[in-house]
Structure 1
Amino acid sequence: MEKQTIQPFLTVANYHLLEQQMNKILHTLATTIDKNVILAVRGLVETEITTKITMTATEAQIVEQLFAVTDRTQGENFLESLKPYVIPFKTVTASTIKSLFKKEKKLKMPNLVDMDFQQICYFAWDDPGTHRKYVIIEQEKQLKAIKGLFGNSTIKGICAICNRHADVGLFTTSVKGQVVGTFTNHSNYICADSAKCNHHVSDMHKVNEFFDRITQ
């Protein structure tokens, strides 16, 4: 009988969540020998994962290997073994970008050559010359985009996208209002480094809420 192939079932955000929770276990193992504390942390990690990631019994068996991780090498091997099960961000091409930002006459294109779509939850790049930041997100299997001005200066603060403490800058977007000729501006502090921000994202619900909020 042919072995059934397990299809990708983890979002990029799910993968980041698993990595973060694994690091929580490894940090505990490195800082205490109290078996009760270690057991409690493993229990909290299991609860966090099983409540946030919907899986079949077979898929759960793959993820459950994380709960037994005891060292960094074992953990990294586990994360590597998960990559075939990660659903990548929808591939973005130059023509895709041009169609999403078709009103931009002098659009600065991002570097797509080295982009790993299996590592990002949203796609973003900067145009330092115009102080613009461009953001593309995937919702309901469709790519949606928005642009905004990104401030020159950064401060330490909480990012509105990943909700982590980081170097953030003011991202100001403008969308058409319900009345013709009017616009609504939204200003939020987000990570200056979109790559690091992406790596911190472990909950796409929050990302979608942010995008919905600044496009309404």
Structure 2
Amino acid sequence: MEKTIKSFLSVANYHLIEQQLNKLLNAYTTTKDKNVLQAVKGLVENEIFNAIDPSEEQTKLIEPLYTITERQQGDSFLQNLKPYVIPFYQISTAELKKLFRKEKKLKLPNLEDLDFQHICYLNWDDTQTHRKYIVIEDEGNLKALKGTMSTKVIKGVCSICNHHGDVSLFTTKTKGQTAETFTKYSNYICINGEQCNHNISDHAKLIEFFTRISE
């Protein structure tokens, strides 16, 4: 498949399509009832089009999904679709230092190892201080957040991706309305930031989470 149109899928859109593909493939492995399979296809199509609202040309790129019945076909489809994914902002270490300029000993992530077409937000951990750093992109603007991760891991729902898995308490604090006061926010989030990113299928919910605990 040649790329003849502009990239139009957010990373979250791509994850949504992958999740819906898995739903379809799971249906084929659990039933042979044509009515059930047709119903699942309808649900999958509605989920995708309600989230993306593609143009006619973009629809032609997505439509092969509904004929896939095997994992190998699905993997090939996703690979062909990836060039149309808008990557996360190609941030530099200098920009990260500027975002966290108050951090005296900022531990930086290895940006060269990241696939920016796979992440909805940038995150990394400083295991010595138990700090987690998060950077999101909101309408072309980079926003940064830092907090501490509890060492206690439980099974629960992540406040960022809304998926169930291994989570830990992430605590942040912002300046209060009066001088020298702070407001703390504690939320359970995935301990595995890479998996959390992969789970996100709605970028708006990520923005809502960030806004709620940082403003």
TM-score, normalised to structure 1's length? 0.97
C-alpha distance after superposition, 1:54-79 (max 9, x if no partner): 21111111111111111111111000
Amino acid at match of 2:42: G
Q: Would you identify which runs of 4 or more consecutive aligned residues in structure 1 move more than 4 Å?
A: none
1:37 is matched with which residue? 36
CA RMSD of aligned residues (A): 1.2
How do residues 203-214 of structure 1 correspond to structure 2 at under 5 angstroms? 203-214=202-213
Question: Partners of 1:194 and 1:15 in 2: how far apart?
Answer: 17
How do residues 98-137 of structure 1 correspond to structure 2 at under 5 angstroms? 98-137=97-136
Amino acid at match of 2:170: F
Unaligned residue ranges in structure 2 (runs of 5+): none
Note if 1:10 corresponds to 2:9: yes
Contact 2:3 2:84 in 1 (8 A): no
Distance 1:205 1:4, change over 3 A: closer
TM-score, normalised to structure 2's length? 0.97
Q: Which moved more, 1:78-87 or 1:105-114?
A: 105-114
Question: Partners of 1:160 and 1:208 in 2: how far apart?
Answer: 11
Amino acid at match of 1:93: S
1:158 is matched with which residue? 157
1:138 is matched with which residue? 137
**Equivalent pairs, count:** 214
2:23 is matched with which residue? 24
Amino acid at match of 1:33: K
Question: Partners of 1:91 and 1:155 in 2: how far apart?
Answer: 33
Contact 2:65 2:77 in 1 (8 A): yes
Distance 1:35 1:153, change over 3 A: same
Shift of 1:178: 2.1
Question: Partners of 1:135 and 1:215 in 2: how far apart?
Answer: 11
Q: Percent identity?
A: 55
1:47 is matched with which residue? 46
Question: Partners of 2:22 and 2:89 in 1: how far apart?
Answer: 28
Match of 1:120, SS? coil
C-alpha distance after superposition, 1:116-172 (max 9, x if no partner): 111000000000111100000000111100100111111000000000001000000
Shift of 1:26: 0.5
1:61 is matched with which residue? 60
